[in-house]
Amino acid sequence: MTIHTLHLAAFSAEPLYGPEEARTIADLAETLIAEGQASFTLEREGTVVAHACYTPLRLVEAPQLKAYVMAPLAVLPAWQKQGLATELMHQAEEALDADAIFVLGNPLHYARRFSTPHQVSPPQPTDHAACWFARALKPGVLDDLKSASQIDGALNNPELW
C-alpha cells in the first residue's frame, strides 16, 4: 500500500471530509515526502497502517526553538481506535528531538495531546485559529512566547489553512 492510498482511505472514511479533500490530503502527503519533510510510518502485519509528516516551523520571536507542524496524519480505518496515532506521534517526537509540535486539526482528535497553552500564530491566516494546537515537548518553551510563525514548502499554501 502506498502512502497516497493510506491517506486516501483514511480521509475518505472520515465524515468531515469528502473525496476531493481526501485526494488533496493524500497528494499533500506525497508532496511533503518528495520535499524531504520528516515522514514516519507504523507497520502491522507487514503493511504500513499509519503515516505522518512533520514540516519545520520557524517561530519568528524564538528562532532557536526547534518546532514542527504535524500534517497530515492518517491511520487506515481498520486500524483506528487502537492507539496507533499516539504511538506514531510518540515515535516521531522522539526522533525529531523537537521543542514543540503544532497542528491545525479537529479538536476531537488533537485537543487532549496538543494542550499546551500558546500564543504562536499559524503561518497562514485561517478561519480555524481555535483549532491551532501546540504540544511543548520541553517544559516551558512556549511560556510567555508571543510569536508569528513561518513555514516553507507545500504547507505554505493558504488554501490548506
67 touches 59 (CB < 8 A): yes
For position 16, what pLDDT does the model report? Answer: 79
Domain count, the chain: 1
Question: How many residues in the chain?
Answer: 161
pLDDT higher than 90, residue 4: yes
Q: Which of 10-14, 35-39, 68-72, 131-135 has the lowest mean pLDDT?
A: 10-14
- Work out the average pLDDT over 113-142: 96
In the chain, the N- to C-terminal Cα span, in Å, equals 28
User: pTM for the whole thing?
Assistant: 0.94
For position 15, what pLDDT does the model report? Answer: 79
CA gap 127, 137 in Å, rounded: 27
- Work out the average pLDDT over 36-40: 98
CA gap 125, 22 in Å, rounded: 22
Domain that holds residue 17: 3-160
Residue 153 is part of a domain; what is its CATH number? 3.40.630.30
